[in-house]
C-alpha cells in the first residue's frame, strides 16, 4: 500500500505529465490552425493576381516556377562585385568571426526551395532558389546560444540596406542565402553574389548583394 507521501508524489508527477501533454497538444494545434489560415493556391494560378496579397497568407505548394527571363526586379540592379576581394562577413554575438570567400560558400552544404517573391502592387516572381542555410555560416562562426536575431546588410556603399530577422526563421530555413535561381547563377540584377530569400516576407526584405551577417541578442524588458 502506498504511503501518503508516495501518493502525493504520484499525483504531482501525473499532473505535471498531464500538463506537458496538453502543452504539446496545444502547440501542435496552434501550428495546425496557422496552416489552415493559409490560402491554398491551385495549379495554374495567374501570379499577377497575387501582387496585392500578403505572402504569409498563401500556400504556394502548387505554383509553377516561372522562367528566369520573366522575373521582374526591384531596387538596385547594377551593383558590381569583385569576387577577388568580396567576402561574406559574419560578426556580432558569435565566438569566432568569419570572412568567407565566394568559393568557400559554394563548398558549403546547399539547400534549394521554391519561394514566392511579392513586390506589393507591382509584380510577383516564383523561383527555385538555391544557396546555403544561414545556420551553416552562423555555426561556423560559433554563434552564441542566446542569439535572438540577425541583421543582413548589402550592398557596400551608399545604397546599403539592412533587414532584421528572428533566429527561428534561420533554423527553419524560411530565410536563407541564395547564390542561384532556377538552376542558374544568380544574375547581377537579382543580387549576385548572394541575396536573401525570405519566405512569407515581402520582396523589400529580400536584401540583395549581401556582404554582412550580424548576430545579436534582443534584451527583453522585465
**CATH number for the domain that contains residue 175:** 3.90.420.10
pTM: 0.82
Same domain, 79 and 139: yes
**Residue that has been written with the C-alpha cell 516572381 in this structure:** 125
Alpha helices in 37-142 (DSSP H): 102-106, 134-140
Cα 87-170-144 angle, rounded to 5 deg? 75
Same domain, 98 and 68: yes
Same domain, 72 and 18: no
* Predicted pLDDT of residue 37: 79
Same domain, 68 and 13: no
Same domain, 100 and 26: no
Alpha helices in 64-133 (DSSP H): 102-106
* Predicted pLDDT of residue 34: 47
Q: Indicate whether 159 belongs to any domain.
A: yes
Distances (CA, A) of 53 to 37, 89, 118, 123: 14, 34, 8, 11
pLDDT digits (tens, 9 = 90+) for 22-34: 444 544 444 444 4
Same domain, 55 and 8: no
Q: Which residues of the chain have pLDDT under 70?
A: 1-36, 221-222
Same domain, 81 and 15: no
Q: Which residues of 43-66 are buried (b: 16+ CB within 10 A; e: fewer)?
A: eebebeebeeeebeebebeebeee
Same domain, 85 and 164: yes
* Predicted pLDDT of residue 39: 96
Q: Domain total for the chain?
A: 2
Same domain, 171 and 130: yes
- Nearest CA to 164 out of 217, 98, 86 is that of 217
pLDDT digits (tens, 9 = 90+) for 151-167: 999 999 999 999 999 99
Domain that holds residue 58: 39-216
Same domain, 16 and 83: no
Q: Indicate whether 132 belongs to any domain.
A: yes
Same domain, 59 and 31: no
Same domain, 23 and 130: no
* Predicted pLDDT of residue 89: 98
* Predicted pLDDT of residue 80: 96
Q: Indicate whether 221 belongs to any domain.
A: no
Amino acid at each position: 500500500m502506498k504511503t501518503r507521501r508516495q501518493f502525493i508524489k504520484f499525483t504531482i508527477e501525473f499532473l505535471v505529465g498531464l500538463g506537458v501533454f496538453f502543452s504539446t497538444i496545444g502547440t501542435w494545434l496552434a501550428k495546425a490552425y496557422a496552416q489552415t489560415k493559409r490560402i491554398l493556391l491551385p495549379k495554374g494560378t495567374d501570379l499577377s493576381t497575387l501582387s496585392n496579397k500578403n505572402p504569409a497568407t498563401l500556400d504556394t505548394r502548387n505554383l509553377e516556377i516561372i522562367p528566369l527571363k520573366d522575373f521582374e526586379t526591384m531596387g538596385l540592379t547594377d551593383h558590381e562585385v569583385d569576387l577577388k576581394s568580396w567576402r561574406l562577413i559574419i560578426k556580432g554575438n558569435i565566438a569566432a568571426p568569419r570572412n568567407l570567400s565566394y568559393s568557400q560558400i559554394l563548398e558549403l552544404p546547399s539547400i534549394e526551395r521554391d519561394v514566392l517573391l511579392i513586390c506589393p502592387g507591382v509584380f510577383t516572381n516564383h523561383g527555385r532558389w538555391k544557396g546555403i542555410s544561414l545556420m551553416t555560416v552562423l555555426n561556423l562562426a560559433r554563434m552564441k546560444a542566446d542569439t535572438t536575431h540577425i541583421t543582413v546588410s548589402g550592398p557596400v556603399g551608399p545604397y546599403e540596406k539592412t533587414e532584421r530577422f528572428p533566429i527561428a526563421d534561420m533554423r527553419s530555413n524560411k530565410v536563407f542565402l541564395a547564390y542561384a535561381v532556377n538552376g542558374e547563377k544568380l544574375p547581377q540584377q537579382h543580387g549576385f553574389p548572394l541575396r536573401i530569400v525570405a519566405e512569407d516576407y515581402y520582396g523589400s526584405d529580400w536584401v540583395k548583394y549581401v556582404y554582412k551577417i550580424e548576430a545579436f541578442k534582443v534584451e527583453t524588458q522585465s
